[in-house]
Amino acid sequence: MAEINNETWYSEAAATFGDRLEAARESCGMSQTELAQRLGVRDTTIISWEADAWEPRGNRLQMLAGMLNVSLMWLLSGRGEGVAAPDAREPLALPARSVLADITRLRRQMQTLGLELTQAEQKLAVELRGMAQ
């Protein structure tokens, strides 16, 4: 089986910006809520970035890289100073990798749907307040 390393695990072909952001955040031991508070954004913003539904602006990218101790280039492309790849001594079996990919995809879909549900709820609340006046 091929060796797992930073260049292959977090490359543009193997991982998205959201994957790298999540890995760097977890490597620092931060929750999504904690990172959101430190950046001055909402939790849903971090969820959306990690789900690749939204992308942060340049100033937030710089702040993220600094807070997470990774290079801006690594966050964007997987090249440069970033977090270590998962332990390569016990690589996942091929079926397990497939299941993990499915779980990751489903988690992202759930996060995106949760965000859309929150936005719809907020719109409904505004409409109901308008009707009550």
**Architecture of the domain defined by 6-132:** Orthogonal Bundle (1.10)
Q: What is the pLDDT of residues 72-81, one digit of tens each?
A: 888 888 888 8
Q: What angle do CA 37, 43, 49 make, to 5 degrees?
A: 110
Show Cβ contacts of residue 55 under 8 Å, excluding neighbours closer than 6 positions. 17, 49
* pLDDT score of 94: 56
User: What is the pTM (predicted TM-score) of this model?
Assistant: 0.60
The residue that leads in pLDDT, 112 or 1, is: 112
Q: Which position has the token pair 């710089």?
A: 62
